[in-house]
Amino acid sequence: MAAGVTRDDDALRRGVRDWVSCHRPEHSDIVVDDLTRPAAGWSNETVIVSISWRIDAGRARERLVFRLPPPLASFPTYELHDQERVLAALAHSCVAVPRVIAVEDDATWLGAPFLVMSFVDGKPGGEIPALDPWLKAAPADRQRAVHEGFLAALASVHQVDWRATALDGSLRVGMRAELDYWTRYVHWAAAPDAPPHALIKALDWCASTAPDDTRTMSLLWGDARIGNVMYGPEGDVVGLLDWELATIGPAEMDLGWYLVLDELTTHFVRASVPGFLGREAAIEYYERALGRPVAHLAWHEVFALVRSIAISDRQARIAAASGTSYPGIAGDANPMLRHLDARIASFDG
């Protein structure tokens, strides 16, 4: 079952059928045979649909992915055309991503604008890898292959020549733009209340200590997690998903995001994947794949933690307002803020 507040499935089925019928007039008797939702996801609403249509010998079938903003927004805006541009740019690279089929700006079909993509067939990585039955049952060498494949794919994203794609004309570029965005975000996310004091304090700290990484700018995934990867049966990466937070900045932003969230998950579930590389080995593997050593990683982990807590704070507020269960806590009572304070206090550059 999907997380968060979602739209009515029957209304979505009708809207999908009508949209496909309108945009594929060469197909007759279009039917939505199935509609499912990924188990996770608060920041967007994603539905996987199986459609069929009549052909001479019977019926042809296809699976499509429809992605649209959630009924209660986790972010101030949802730039679907930016996601389209990122996926289109990556389609010409070695990075495996879904194929964009359409961006629909007319909200009357499904209740909001939406992005239509090809379905990537594979096994989704676990939101908590240590608790993923598929990973737990895999032999250690396959577990390691899954981890190394993720790190190599992440480095491949960061090696894309973003300057040749004109993505800098639509995505945020650089640390100053990121800091400004997230400062605005925490105030928007908490409105009409005040954002957590510790979060504002941490953002001020980030702004005053931000490194100058303008010489090592990369296309950033934005939500670099194993839970956003589709794997083949042997643990090979067949697709990287969820590009709504894509920006341009130092590659360490993505690596720091992955490392700090993995560290927290390991701490709270008190378990890890035995075949995964340890922290230092994972960093070394990523550096070899990237072709350079990482820099200012401790700072980027703090900034990643700030961003993660900011999103969690927003989603906890949405859950409270809608009566939906959510594992996080909004406001100054969030225990992750104490962890954030401790990370800043121990920072040594």
Taking only the tens of pLDDT, the chain with its 349 residues reads 345 678 999 999 999 999 999 999 999 999 999 999 986 667 899 999 999 999 988 999 999 999 999 999 999 999 999 999 999 999 989 999 999 999 999 999 999 999 999 999 999 999 999 999 999 999 999 999 999 999 999 999 999 999 988 888 889 999 999 999 999 999 999 999 999 999 999 999 999 999 987 788 999 999 999 999 999 988 899 999 999 999 999 999 999 999 999 999 998 889 999 999 999 999 999 999 999 999 999 999 999 999 999 999 999 999 998 888 888 889 999 999 999 999 999 987 6
Asked whether residue 80 falls in the same domain as residue 130, the answer is no
Which residue in 177, 152, 170 sits closest to 244, CA to CA?
170
Asked, for residue 309, whether it belongs to a domain, the answer is yes
SS3 229: strand
Quick check: is 60 in a domain?
yes
Residue 3 lies in a domain: no
Are 335 and 220 found together in one domain?
A: yes
Phi and psi angles of residue 52, each rounded to the nearest 5 degrees, phi first: -140, 160
Q: What are phi and psi of 341, to 5 degrees?
A: -60, -40
Q: Cα–Cα distance between 144 and 336 in angstroms, integer?
A: 29
pLDDT on residue 214: 75
- How high is the pLDDT of residue 41? 65
User: In this predicted structure, what is the pLDDT of residue 4?
Assistant: 64
What is the domain count for the chain? 2
Asked if residue 4 is part of any domain, the answer here is no
Q: State the pLDDT at residue 344.
A: 96
- Distance CA(1)–CA(37), nearest Å, equals 7
User: Which backbone phi and psi does 64 adopt, to 5 degrees?
Assistant: -130, 155
Are residues 263 and 152 located together in one domain of the fold? yes
What's the pLDDT score for residue 323? 87
CATH of the domain at 111: 3.30.200.20
Neighbours of 333 (CB within 10 A): 9
- Is the domain of 246 the same as that of 338? yes
Q: In this structure, is residue 1 part of a structural domain?
A: no
Indicate if 104 and 198 belong to the same structural domain. no
Q: Is the same domain home to 215 and 329?
A: yes
CATH number at residue 170: 3.90.1200.10
Query: How many Cα neighbours within 13 Å face the side chain of 67?
Result: 27
Do residues 231 and 132 both lie within one domain?
yes
Residue ranges making up the domain that contains 252: 123-345
Residue (of 163, 246, 250) closest to 214 by Cα position = 250
Are residue 105 and residue 140 in the same domain, yes or no? no
Are residues 66 and 171 both part of a single domain?
Answer: no
Structural domain contains residue 2: no
Structural domain ending residue among the three candidates 118, 150, 172:
118
Domain ends where: 118, 135, 170?
118
Which pTM was predicted? 0.94
159 and 53, same domain (yes or no): no
Among residues 149, 110, 142, 132, which one has the least CA distance to residue 12? 110
Is residue 187 assigned to a domain?
yes
Q: Which amino acid is at 44?
A: N
pLDDT at 166 (0 to 100) = 81
Q: Do 314 and 178 reside in the same domain of the chain?
A: yes
pLDDT of residue 328: 85
Give yes or no: residues 98 and 49 share one domain.
yes
Among 71, 92, 118, where does a domain finish? 118
User: Does residue 41 lie in a domain region?
Assistant: yes
